[in-house]
Structure 1
Amino acid sequence: MFFAKLLARVVSKGTISVIDPAGKSRTVGSGMPKVTLRVHDWRTDLHLAVHPTMAAGEAYMNGRLTIEDGTLYDFVEIASRNLDDLASHPVQRVIDGVSAFLRRVQQHNPLHRAQRNVTHHYDLSDRLYESFLDPQRQYSCAYFTHPEMGLDAAQEAKIRHIAAKLLLKPGQRVLDIGCGWGGLALALARMADVEVLGVTLSVGQHKYASERARAAGLEDRVRFELRDYRLLDEEFDRVVSVGMFEHVGVGHYGEFFGKVRTLLKPDGVALLHSIGRHDGPGVTNPWIRRYIFPGGYSPALSEVLPVIETERLWATDIEILRLHYAETLRHWRERFEKHRAEMAALYDERFCRMWELYLIGSELSFRLMGHMVFQIQLAKDIEAVPLTRDYIGAFEKASTPALRSVPDPKAKAKAN
């Protein structure tokens, strides 16, 4: 019972019972939540004891670690609440130290590697993302203006919030770096009569976004290119990037902000929306790095702001969104569960277990492990934006974008 012995040393918040491959049970910790785990073979038991931050996810998705009582959410919550104690364990300290030493290698994302990393996650089936995302396919933190707000409305509120900070004016040219499935670009064009160029490295996203622009009759004002932002050489009035910076990597931050500065006109404004961490520089969970977001990393502001300063950009506004992403992920998790049988038929049970663990672990990283979302408004000119934040709320109250009136080409095809 190597795994149970490790848990006995690090678990004090919550209760875990472990049944080993011989059928013997040991209970550690105290209080709620409670969960019972079964380890199915001794090799897995040893792997869990030596490298739990990787092995737990692998063993669960491969069916070698199963939950006999309680839920996966219970298990991940207990793990999250005791993570600091695990980090102080001698073996884990060595693993974390090696990972910290190698993190620039792990986050090295030149053009060819960035393309491969994007394909790994974002070129999965459209049916998968349709199963849990909103109609605009916003695969990033929503903005809940009141507790009872639904996901679709919260994603529309997020778009309005971003549009407000961009200070859009008719006829401006906007660049959307990492445009996803095009929902933000199309919404901005409709809301403010601007021209938008969206760039992505995902073949699937590029195809879908282009189809949606044509279906909406906006192809004259919104276009999408399958291109790395680093290869652009135009100037834009506005630059926005939502949910892409997590894929840049610490070693490329200078390259990113330097390019933003080059792409912005002298009086231009940029808005960066990214996951971050409140407790200083760290490393990406190894299971997430291998199976979900290779090359990904959520930075601390202390890693971002010095680079912004070096590139001589003004951080004209910084906002921290704390539990908004936790609520977003809760909605995604609940929606995915409603379509689980369909997703198992599309992929398999292993994939569903992996995706469930990803959504639950991500949600709890915002509730319990210090993750948050930051929005940084940037400018070259000190006077590029108003001196108070009143304009943000005023724009949000005045704007009533009909976001859902942008046709979904998939829905049109189904209707025919």
Structure 2
Amino acid sequence: MASSLNTLLHKIIRNGTLIVRGPGGDRQFGSGGDRRVVIRFADEAAERELYADPQLKLGELYMDGRLTVEEGDIYEFLALVKDNTLSEGLTFGMIWRGILRMLASQFRNRVPINHNRRNVAHHYDLDERLFSLFLDEDWQYSCAYFNPPGISLDEAQLTKKRHIAAKLLAEEGQRVLEIGSGWGGMAMYLAEASGVDVTGITLSTEQLKISRERATKRGLNKSVRFELQDYYYLQPHTKYDRVVSVGMFEHVGRLNYRRFFNKVNDVLADDGVMVLHSIGQPYPALYNAPWIEKYIFPGGYIPAISEVMPAVEKAGLLVSDIEILPMHYAHTLRHWRQRFMDNREKAAAVYDERFVRMWEFYLAASEMAFTHENFFIFQMQIVKKRTAVPDNRDYILLREAELKALEESRIRPDRIAV
């Protein structure tokens, strides 16, 4: 085993047991106990690469099969390391790479090039069969709402849609804009449950195709439409009574927050309501996680609420409610990862084994962000006038009850066929 990595692991792993196997034999790290993970390196070069740049190389080595987990799984390995990580475990190489990434991030943030379409295609225009392997029946690719705890993923995603619809205070006949419409499930729920007219915009050609097919299948062509459009080019003369955005804000980029909320201000009616559902992190990041940036979400950025609020205020908008959902995405990602791994052979048939390991690492690392790094979901309700929403939160539960009663008779579910 490379002596540098050996020294680093002795510093980091103090609680639990990590067994490392490789060309140099087996080594044990930690104080023992019930937590035990066993990993194997295929070659000594892999050990040196991991020591030099763990933020990038851990995921790459796992993708390439040069690092495997023989006892436990990749999430348990990541959790064991995270539970033990101390600042003294940082090496000079990690520090200077971090500085370079911070500088590169600052440079990219200041170059006014719009790569939104390309970045969206990188992830959301993947083969649709992939998403069928782990998402719920409605293909909700955002955090579910496990209330009450222990409900199924399908139930939790329906509960999420109901919760957001209740906060929107949508009324029959209103016009609704959805920014980032995914595969159409939220828009169709609003149209059927609340009787509103919905326009959904997306930058994914694959999602657009499926959304339009679903709307036609459910007979919603007159009340739901989907367009391939960037929010920035929405026309200010077209006003919407309600605006909703679920799981899209993470792709806006922190230097574009003012632009985003200015556009919301342009298109939202004076007595309108917006609900923004987004991942949040506890403090602003100096740079994105390099592996996620390179392989999963190029150009994405998870905001801190402290970065969002000034942009809302400067756009002349008011925040009428914020709800923090700290662990619901951890539960969602656990469901997704378990479903995906149950279908790993099908995923490998669509792509290959390297892709399967990449996707498993992505889901496991994302879950760990919520279980170990204080990431959360925030739902922010935004208005132009305080009188647009009630002065208490009782209406949310009342609306949810009304919507739940309507769902059985109004919602025409369709499982997305692939």
TM-score of the aligned structures, taking structure 1 as reference length: 0.94
Question: Which residue, 321, 324, 327 being the options, matches 2:328?
Answer: 324
Give, in angstroms, the shift of residue 59 of structure 1: 0.3
Distance in structure 1 (CA, Å) of the matches to 2:88 and 2:38: 19
Report the equivalent of 1:344: 348
Q: Which residue of 2 aligns with 1:308?
A: 312
Q: Which residue of 2 aligns with 1:137?
A: 139
Q: Give the number of aligned pairs.
A: 410
Displacement after TM superposition at 1:65 (Å): 1.1
Tell whether 2:190 aligns with 1:183.
no
By how many angstroms is 1:282 displaced? 4.5
1:199-239, CA deviations, whole angstroms, 9 ceiling, x for partnerless residues? 01101000000000000000111000011111110211111
How far 1:18 moved relative to its partner? 1.9
- Tell me if the contact between 2:137 and 2:416 (Cα under 8 Å) persists in the aligned partners: no
The one-letter code of the counterpart of 1:72 is I
Q: 1:108 to 1:32 in 2, by over 3 A?
A: farther
SS in 1 for 2:161: helix
Q: What's the counterpart of residue 414 of structure 1?
A: none
Q: Please list the CA deviations of residues 42-78 of structure 1 after superposition, one character each: whole Å capped at 9, or x if unmatched.
A: 3222110010111011001101112233322221111
Question: CA offsets, 1:269-305, max 9 Å, x none?
Answer: 1111000112444432111111111111111111111
Separation of aligned partners in 2, 1:391 and 1:211: 34
In structure 1, which of residues 399, 405, 413 is the aligned counterpart of residue 412 of structure 2? 405
1:267 counterpart residue number: 271
Cα distance in 2 for partners of 1:180, 1:356 equals 22
Give the conservation status (yes or no) of the 8 Å contact 1:246–1:275. Answer: yes
Instruction: Look up the equivalent residue of 2:305 and give its one-letter code.
Output: L
Other-structure match for 2:378: 374
Match of 2:297 in 1: 293
Q: In the aligned structure 1, how far is the partner of 2:318 from the partner of 2:157?
A: 27
* Letter paired with 1:16: L
Deviation at 1:101, TM superposition (A): 3.0
* Other-structure match for 2:42: 40
- Corresponding residue of 2:153: 151
Point out where structure 1 has 5 or more consecutive residues left out of the alignment.
412-416
SS of alignment partner, residue 137 of structure 2: coil
Q: Is the 8 A contact 1:318 1:376 kept in 2?
A: yes
Matched, 1:333 2:337: yes
More displaced, 76-85 or 201-210? 76-85
| Aligned equivalent of 1:395 | 399
Superposition deviation, residue 103 in structure 1 = 2.5
Deviation at 1:147, TM superposition (A): 1.8
Is the Cα contact below 8 Å between 2:344 and 2:356 reproduced in 1? yes
Conservation of the 8 A alpha-carbon contact between 2:138 and 2:414: no
Q: Choose the corresponding residue for 1:161, options 154, 160, 163.
A: 163
Displacement of 1:107: 5.5
Q: Residue 61 of structure 1 aligns to which amino acid in structure 2?
A: M
Equivalent AA in structure 2 for residue 290 of structure 1: K
Determine helix, strand or coil for the equivalent of 1:410: coil
Q: State whether residues 282 and 299 of structure 1, in contact with CA within 8 Å, keep that contact through their aligned partners in structure 2.
A: no
**Would the aligned equivalents of 1:108 and 1:249 in 2 still touch at CA under 8 Å?**
no
Bigger shift: residues 281-290 or 356-365: 281-290
For residue 369 of structure 1, report the CA deviation from its aligned partner: 1.0
Letter in 2 for 1:377: Q
Q: Check whether the contact 2:192–2:411 (CA below 8 A) recurs between aligned residues.
A: no
Moved more, 244-253 or 279-288: 279-288
Question: Matches of 1:26 and 1:100 in 2, distance apart?
Answer: 34
CA RMSD of superposed structures (Å): 1.9
Match of 1:81 in 2: 83
8 Å CA contact 1:316, 1:379 repeated in 2: yes
Q: Which runs of 5+ in 2 are unaligned?
A: none
The offset of 1:111, in angstroms, is: 7.1
Cα distance in 2, alignment partners of residues 152 and 112 from structure 1:
35
345-354 or 6-15, larger mean C-alpha shift: 6-15
* Change beyond 3 A, Cα 1:177–1:138: same
> Displacement, 1:105?
4.1
> Does the CA-based 8 Å contact 1:11-1:85 persist in structure 2?
no
Residues 386 and 138 (structure 1), Cα distance of their counterparts in 2 relative to 1, 3 Å cut: same
> CA-to-partner distance for each residue in 1:343-367, whole Å, 9 max, x for gaps?
1111111111111111111111101
**Aligned partners of 2:21 and 2:6: how far apart in 1?**
9
Among 378, 389, 399, the residue aligned to 1:385: 389
Deviation of the 1:34 alpha carbon: 1.7
Question: Where in structure 2 are the equivalents of 1:45-124 lying within 5 Å?
Answer: 45-85=47-87, 88-106=90-108, 112-124=114-126
Separation (CA, whole Å) in 1 of partners of 2:18 and 2:145 = 35
Once residues 88 and 363 of structure 1 are traced to their aligned partners in structure 2, the CA distance between those partners, rounded to angstroms, is 23
Aligned pair in 2 of structure 1 residues 105, 174: CA closer, same or farther (>3 Å)? farther
SS of match in other structure, 2:170? coil
- CA gap of 1:198–1:153, structure 2 versus 1, over 3 A, is same
AA paired with 2:362?
Y
Match of 2:242 among 238, 245, 269: 238
What is the distance in 1 between the residues matched to 2:379 and 2:415?
28
What letter is aligned with 2:329? Y
Q: Does 2:25 align with 1:24?
A: yes
CA offsets 1:327-382 (integer angstroms, 9 cap, x no match): 01111111111211111111111111111111111111101111100011001112
Q: Judge conservation of contact 1:135–1:404 (CA < 8 Å) in 2.
A: no
Q: What is the alpha-carbon distance in structure 1 between the residues aligned to residue 162 and residue 155 of structure 2?
A: 11
Taking every aligned residue pair, what percent have the same amino acid on both sides? 46
* TM-fit CA distance, 1:133: 0.7
How far, CA to CA, are the matches of 2:229 and 2:113 in structure 1? 10
Partner of 1:170: 172
Amino acid at match of 1:146: P
